[in-house]
Amino acid sequence: MKRLLITGAGGNLGKICREGLKGYANVIRLSDISPMDPAGPNEEVVQCDLSDRAAVIDLTKDIDGIIHLGGISIEAAFDDLLQANLAGTYNLYEGARQNGVKRIMFASSNHAIGFHKRTTKLDDTSEQRPDSLYGVTKCYGEAMASYYFDKFDVETVSVRIGSCFEKPKDRRMLSTWMSPRDFISLMKAIFNAPMTGHLVMYGVSDNTSKWWSNDHADFLGWKPQDSSEQFRAEIEATFPPEDRHDPAVIYQGGGFAAKGHFED
């Protein structure tokens, strides 16, 4: 790949990508709303607010693929989500369309399906059940991706990412954990695939306890290497048992599903 754009490059996932994808493209353009570390070799650093359409159209020039991590990635006030995630995602797709970008990895979220119970196994045909305004913006992003593929032939893999950290941070993450290594290998699989169309899948390691199936995405050739099981003993020793009448335990979205309205 000649030039890969990573939005939200200053955030947690963005940093994992910046580090893990070094050398993957001739040039990696890194963008974030906040200042980032200066560009290293084969890097371009562009500070950019995704809600600024003209800036985003500029940002996506000469780009072959985009890892779209930008925008707000937690529950937030609607007006903030409106700009960062609703306008921002549109702007990004418009940039992609106008500049001929071929494929986008859209960082969707498990919070797009967070009101499914943990006892339900999901796949790509499961209905969206967002657990937060943030989750609603991710459903919207998936719809936008579908539209831009059907009409403008811009391909997207919408990855409903679980919890990507060095290790699981609580009992729920035993099921949702995605190792940074698996995240990076997924990014590569997505851009190596000859064809993706608009694909919805889950970003999760090969955990023993799991809620999501990626069988439909086998054509990608991605096979996660890690499992949260190695951390189970430590996690279970650290965190008290879960109460099955707690909405944060009942629903896949965890705390997001349990919380009331952001602005209350």
Catalytic residue among 134, 140, 148, 251: 134
Q: Which stretch binds its own copies (CB under 8 A): 8-16, 29-37, 63-71, 121-129?
A: 121-129
CB of 179 to its own copies, least distance (A): 17
Q: Which stretch binds its own copies (CB under 8 A): 3-11, 39-47, 59-67, 240-248?
A: 240-248
Residue 139 CB neighbour total at 10 angstroms: 18
116, 117, 135, 245 from 252: Cα distances, Å: 6, 6, 12, 13
6 beta partners: 30, 67
Helix, strand or coil, per DSSP, at residue 14: helix
Q: Is 219 in the site for its own copies (CB under 8 A)?
A: yes
The two tokens of residue 221 are 């050739």
Q: Which of 76, 209, 89 is nearest to 158 (CA)?
A: 89
The two tokens of residue 150 are 């059907």
CB of 44 to its own copies, least distance (A): 24
Report d(CA 195, CA 120) in Å as an integer.
30
User: Phi/psi of residue 103, each to 5°?
Assistant: -150, 145
CB of 134 to its own copies, least distance (A): 10
Q: Is 225 in the site for its own copies (CB under 8 A)?
A: no
212 beta partners: 122
Binding mask 123-162 for its own copies (x = CB under 8 A): --x-xxxxxxx-xx--xx--xx-xx--xxx--x-------
Q: Is 261 in the site for its own copies (CB under 8 A)?
A: yes
Q: Is 134 known to be catalytic?
A: yes
DSSP E strands in 110-210: the ranges are: 155-161, 163-164, 177-178, 198-203
Q: Would you state the torsion angle of the CA atoms of residues 17, 19, 20, 26, taken in this order, to the nearest 10 degrees? A: 90
Q: Is 55 in the site for its own copies (CB under 8 A)?
A: no
CB of 149 to its own copies, least distance (A): 9
Contact 198, 30 (CB under 8 A): no
Binding mask 162-201 for its own copies (x = CB under 8 A): ---------x--xx------------------xxxx-x--
- Residues tagged active-site: 134
Q: What is the contact surface with its own copies in residues (CB under 8 A)? A: 78, 82, 86-87, 90, 94, 97, 112, 115, 117-119, 121, 125, 127-133, 135-136, 139-140, 143-144, 146-147, 150-152, 155, 171, 174-175, 194-197, 199, 207-211, 213, 215-216, 218-223, 229, 232, 241-244, 249-250, 257, 260-261
